[in-house]
Chain A
Amino acid sequence: MSDAPGGGAVQAPATPPTQPSNDQNPQSNAKKSKPAPAEGEKKLSAAELKKQKQAEKQARRAAAKTSSDAPAIQKENPPKGGQKQQKDSKQAPKDDKSRPLPIRRRPSQSNVPTAKEVKKDKKDTRPTDLFFGHLYTQPRLHSTAGATKDVHPAILALGLQYSSYVICGSTARMVAMLLAFKAVIESYQTPVGTSLARHLTSHHLSPQIDYLRSCRSLSISMGNAIRWLKDLIIKIDPSTPEAEAKRDLLYEIDNFIRERVTMADQLIAETAVKKIEPGDVILTYASSSIVEQSLLRAHQNGVDFSVIVVDSKPLFEGKRLARNLAKHGLRVRYFLISGSAHAVKDATKVFLGAHAMMSNGRLYSRVGTALVSMLASSMSIPVIVLCESVKFTERVALDSIVTNEVAPADELLSEPERQALLPLKPKSEEGEEEGQDTKGVMKWIESAENLQILQVLYDVTPAEYINMVITEYGSLPPSSVPVVHRLSTNT
């Protein structure tokens, strides 16, 4: 129930492509006498769609057993907001035989985590509903335990890499996902009776995406890529032989990565290098692959400049960047975000990576970016964002609260910090043998009344702090983001 707003928001880009496939469903389902749901479905968000699809399946079984009560139920469901409990209770009086079905299906479906989620939510609402209450949906999956059997091993591995931040960063996640999808498509075989175009997206790719989402919410670029892929699959002529269709898909995916990421990065780096002049001090925040690429290229070109890396808890992404740059012979200084006022003072330009560029020109990026760009613009230092157009989105944001990704609070306290709290922990409450390690500290903090540790991953930088956005289409002001977004999606 509570996942509807959060999940819906994240999934929004994924929704439209699924609709055509659903529009086609009625045709195939027509034999099973189910023409009804098409109109209702269009208004639904993806989360609701998912539930409805389950309901469809249940209904289909019910329809196979009994006669045709199910369509009637289906008709009723969509306006109700797809709430499972409600639906069950609705079903109960109408069709007694279909009632045990959902229960039976649950273990195999990805319902197990959802059931947990409801429980967890009740516990969480107490401390967390202050700012980001609407974002606390589903605890992140850190194992493959909850996964459906449909999920491809490559995706399972990828999901774990996501949730543990092994693969981190908008572009990296998108590329990794597309590569994993290649493996999925390669091993895919269209079941008899359907075509690849109709079956692949909704029945095979969707569980994969759902699993990835349960590991960590999808990035904007991932959403864009998924939308593009779904679009591509739907456009495949059903008459194309399966092998050929798959080959085309794989080729297109490679092409996408090459065009939208690899080449785009090169173009951006080329432009960005021109902005670096001898004697410059380039400040960057956290870590961005494209910023790193640009700086290294400028260094190879023999431009004499130095770099300041500002970093923050808990991911310390900038450390890797700083180390890498320094290994290539650049002069690097390293600050934490609390010293950013001092770091910005010494800088002459600020290069930032992006998670996404919003249509209102705002930059959605690693939390802390807004602080750095605010300080830089208050000192009249140009702030330049390097961003591939694949990260542009038609969504808009005004603050960092409405849309964001909440990270588990326990990530925030590092091991030494927990260790430091250890002596302070009251011993009397629980067994001493249990509470004396750092896990006990975490438990203590979690159970501490009125105390909440908050961690989100992104923030939104106002457009007025950004002087320039460099994309593969050229350098533009943030106000041109929507134009470029239209340009890049229409072609």
Chain B
Amino acid sequence: MAQSSGAVAPGLSSFLASLKTTPVEPSIEHLISLLKRRQIRNSRPCAVATTALLLRVVGEFKGKNSAKLVDRIRQVGKRLTSAQPREVVVGNIVRRVLGLVREVVEENLDVDTTATSDVGQNAPHSDALHRPSLHSSISTFSPLKHAAAEPHEIASFPEEMSDSGELVKRPPLLSSHTSAAPMVNSLFGLFSQPDTPSTSNTPTGHQSPDSKAMLTSVNLERLADFSSSKFDMKAEVMDGIRELQDELDQSDDLMAAYALDHIHANEIVLTHTASTSVQKFLLAAARKRKFTVVHVETHPHDHHATHSALLTGKKRDGHEGEDEDAWKPLRLAGVRVVMIPDSHVFAIMSQVNKVILATHTVLANGALVAASGARMIASAAKAHRTPVVVVSGVYKLSPVYPFNTEELIECGDAGTVVPYEDGDFVDLVDVENPLYDYVPADLVDLYITNIGGHAPSYLYRIVADHYRTEDITL
């Protein structure tokens, strides 16, 4: 396997370095093994690695068929997510890239269909054709059924490439519906989508004279390979992925720009873990204001990083390159920092004005999965009526709906809780070390992402903006 020199521990930087020289397939394997061995951990490194890999996957992709490209990306995404399903960010990035491909194709389709806009008379037929398949394509897992009613989601051309698999599986169903009376169809739709919030939503898509909604199957068939002549799909997708990379780079700074809106002078802010996002957020506020940070050290797994971040502004913990994760420690920026052990949270909370949490993943229902300890911090804040603010990049926002919160929680090395020197103890007692906590949405007051501040109840909308419903189940 193409790993860089022995001196560097395998991790994000070595992976990125090797990516340039290694062919795609070994690179995928490389990333999978890194994820499995937890040598790339936490959201940002995972996101960076996945984007870099997908950029390469798209770059190496041969052929012009967009459906095949979607399939290819999806297949790579499946392998990556099954390597480490709890790094939800990997899946997020894959979905973003899939959405990107669809968007690119769609835009060009637009141009194409407006040119051939005489297909209008086929509208009712296409409506009948597509409605059932739309429902099947929206994951039952997703809270996005409502959001999906947005016009562009209904733009139903991508059947061919998005759900080609599903389409292939279900042609008899579809054809039977199309051959049946339209009444049956609409009833079917009625039952399969009983909780559409406003009846106006579904019709808008269908009634709008948008050319996208009026595609015929004939048109779709043509589209599969129309790209060959018209545009360079690959280049546009790659540009889009590069934009995604930029977004990853800049999200911390963008979030930090909101810091002054949320931190006032002489405030006492409580935070935990050595999250880069939060540190940069606080640092941005520290440029203008004096305040106090109470830092919970997050003992069994992040305390080393916390200590060093507080002292030097460096996380020595992760395997990231030295280039990006060094910043001026808060204490040198004039912020008074008080470090407390995790057990002190309740005792100190009465003095705290605001809690700022870092997060691992944000889920579509407004809940978050964050470093363990976050739940008790958020609960203590609730008990003291202290507002809880979560700082998170949009890339951490996941369309996954947590039906079973347990399965999102990863358990870590018990040796960090009780050292293995305590042999008899480890023999006698079940030592557990959950790495993450599930924090329900009602404990959070505000999310700050790189696109602004949002109430937890609004997050589903942002999810809908960033992911295609077709991609929710990879």
Interface residues of A in 322-336 (CB under 8 A from B): 322-323, 326-327, 331-336
Q: How far is the CA of A424 from the CA of B312 in the complex (A)?
A: 8
Closest to A338 in B: B373
A424 pairs with B373, CB closer than 8 A: no
Judge whether B299 is part of the interface by a CB distance below 8 angstroms: yes
* Residues in B neighbouring A37, C-beta threshold 8 A: none
B376 pairs with A371, CB closer than 8 A: yes
Judge whether B372 is part of the interface by a CB distance below 8 angstroms: yes
* Residues in B neighbouring A452, C-beta threshold 8 A: 336-339
* Residues in A neighbouring B332, C-beta threshold 8 A: 449-450
A339 pairs with B292, CB closer than 8 A: no
> Which of B308, B342, B418 is close to A334, meaning CB atoms less than 8 Å apart?
B418
Q: State which of B42-50, B99-107, B344-352 sits at the interface with chain A.
A: B344-352
B432 pairs with A401, CB closer than 8 A: no
* Residues in B neighbouring A423, C-beta threshold 8 A: 316
Q: State which of B113-121, B249-257, B422-430 sits at the interface with chain A.
A: B422-430
Closest to A460 in B: B347
Judge whether A233 is part of the interface by a CB distance below 8 angstroms: no
Flag B406-438 by CB within 8 Å of A: 1 or 0 each.
000100000001110010110011111110011
* Residues in A neighbouring B431, C-beta threshold 8 A: 333-334
Judge whether B383 is part of the interface by a CB distance below 8 angstroms: yes
Q: How far is the CA of A367 from the CA of B349 in the complex (A)?
A: 13
* Residues in B neighbouring A461, C-beta threshold 8 A: 346
Interface residues of B in 149-175 (CB under 8 A from A): none
A417 pairs with B343, CB closer than 8 A: no
A332 pairs with B380, CB closer than 8 A: no
Q: How far is the CB of A365 from chain B (nearest CB, A)?
A: 11
* Residues in A neighbouring B373, C-beta threshold 8 A: 337-339
Q: How far is the CA of A371 from the CA of B296 in the complex (A)?
A: 14
Judge whether A459 is part of the interface by a CB distance below 8 angstroms: yes
B428 pairs with A130, CB closer than 8 A: no
Closest to B422 in A: A319
Q: How far is the CA of A333 from the CA of B429 in the complex (A)?
A: 6
Could you jot down 14 A-B contacts, CB within 8 Å? A127-B336, A130-B292, A130-B336, A131-B348, A314-B341, A334-B418, A342-B434, A371-B376, A374-B379, A421-B311, A424-B312, A444-B311, A451-B339, A459-B346
In the complex where A342-B434, A421-B308, A445-B311 touch, is A336 in contact with B299 (Cβ < 8 A)? yes
Interface residues of B in 133-161 (CB under 8 A from A): none
Interface residues of A in 372-402 (CB under 8 A from B): 374-375, 378, 399-401
Interface residues of A in 309-328 (CB under 8 A from B): 309, 312-314, 319, 322-323, 326-327
Q: How far is the CA of A416 from the CA of B312 in the complex (A)?
A: 18
Judge whether B334 is part of the interface by a CB distance below 8 angstroms: yes
A338 pairs with B429, CB closer than 8 A: no
Interface residues of A in 407-464 (CB under 8 A from B): 412-413, 416-417, 420-421, 423-424, 444-445, 448-456, 458-462
* Residues in A neighbouring B331, C-beta threshold 8 A: 448-451
Q: How far is the CB of B418 from chain A (nearest CB, A)?
A: 7
Q: How far is the CA of A413 from the CA of B376 in the complex (A)?
A: 22
* Residues in A neighbouring B419, C-beta threshold 8 A: 416
Q: How far is the CA of A348 from the CA of B347 in the complex (A)?
A: 25
* Residues in A neighbouring B409, C-beta threshold 8 A: 342
Q: Which of B303, B341, B418 has the most CB of A within 10 A?
A: B341
Q: How far is the CA of A366 from the CA of B316 in the complex (A)?
A: 32
Bin the interface of chain A by size: 35 or more
In the complex where A319-B418, A337-B343, A370-B346 touch, is A454 in contact with B372 (Cβ < 8 A)? no
Flag B209-249 by CB within 8 Å of A: 1 or 0 each.
00000000000000000000000000000000000000000
> Which of B299, B308, B346, B429 is close to A322, meaning CB atoms less than 8 Å apart?
B429
> Which of B339, B344, B375, B438 is close to A367, meaning CB atoms less than 8 Å apart?
B344
In the complex where A342-B372, A450-B336 touch, is A326 in contact with B428 (Cβ < 8 A)? yes
Q: How far is the CB of B296 from chain A (nearest CB, A)?
A: 9
> Which of B298, B307, B336, B344 is close to A417, meaning CB atoms less than 8 Å apart?
B307
B308 pairs with A424, CB closer than 8 A: yes
Q: How far is the CB of B342 from chain A (nearest CB, A)?
A: 5
In the complex where A374-B383, A417-B303 touch, is A450 in contact with B335 (Cβ < 8 A)? yes
Q: How far is the CA of A374 from the CA of B303 in the complex (A)?
A: 24
> Which of A312, A319, A374, A448 is close to B343, meaning CB atoms less than 8 Å apart?
A312
Judge whether A341 is part of the interface by a CB distance below 8 angstroms: yes
A455 pairs with B341, CB closer than 8 A: yes
A459 pairs with B347, CB closer than 8 A: yes
Q: How far is the CA of A452 from the CA of B310 in the complex (A)?
A: 10
* Residues in A neighbouring B78, C-beta threshold 8 A: none
Q: How far is the CB of A463 from chain B (nearest CB, A)?
A: 13
Q: How far is the CB of A134 from chain B (nearest CB, A)?
A: 13
* Residues in A neighbouring B342, C-beta threshold 8 A: 312-313, 336-338, 368
Q: How far is the CA of A340 from the CA of B316 in the complex (A)?
A: 27
A424 pairs with B303, CB closer than 8 A: no
* Residues in B neighbouring A287, C-beta threshold 8 A: none
Q: How far is the CB of B74 from chain A (nearest CB, A)?
A: 33
Judge whether B83 is part of the interface by a CB distance below 8 angstroms: no
B428 pairs with A339, CB closer than 8 A: no
B300 pairs with A336, CB closer than 8 A: yes
Flag B282-316 by CB within 8 Å of A: 1 or 0 each.
00000000001000001110011001101110101
Judge whether A214 is part of the interface by a CB distance below 8 angstroms: no
Judge whether A404 is part of the interface by a CB distance below 8 angstroms: yes
In the complex where A130-B292, A313-B299, A323-B429 touch, is A336 in contact with B417 (Cβ < 8 A)? yes
Interface residues of B in 357-384 (CB under 8 A from A): 371-373, 375-376, 379-380, 383
